[in-house]
Amino acid sequence: MTTRIEDARARAEASFRKEERAKDGAMAMTEYQTTIQLVREKTERLRALRLAKEAAEAAADKSNLE
């Protein structure tokens, strides 16, 4: 037979676990969003480098044809 103290302890532990899961979820979401932002920034940087390289190659090809 459980006592009121045991019931209260079980409810408190369940509440604590629920809060911990919520904190873990929030931290995971923050890490996910940070990773997504870093990937976007890297993609933009690499795209800019590729476009600059392609423009330089096109200019070099054009000057070679003249």
- The pLDDT, as a whole number, for residue 29 is 98
- The pLDDT, as a whole number, for residue 57 is 94
- The pLDDT, as a whole number, for residue 47 is 98
Q: Average pLDDT per run of 10 along the chain, which is 66 residues long? A: 87 97 97 98 98 95 78
Range list of H helices, 1-66:
4-65
Give the residue carrying structure tokens 């209260």: 8
- The pLDDT, as a whole number, for residue 11 is 95
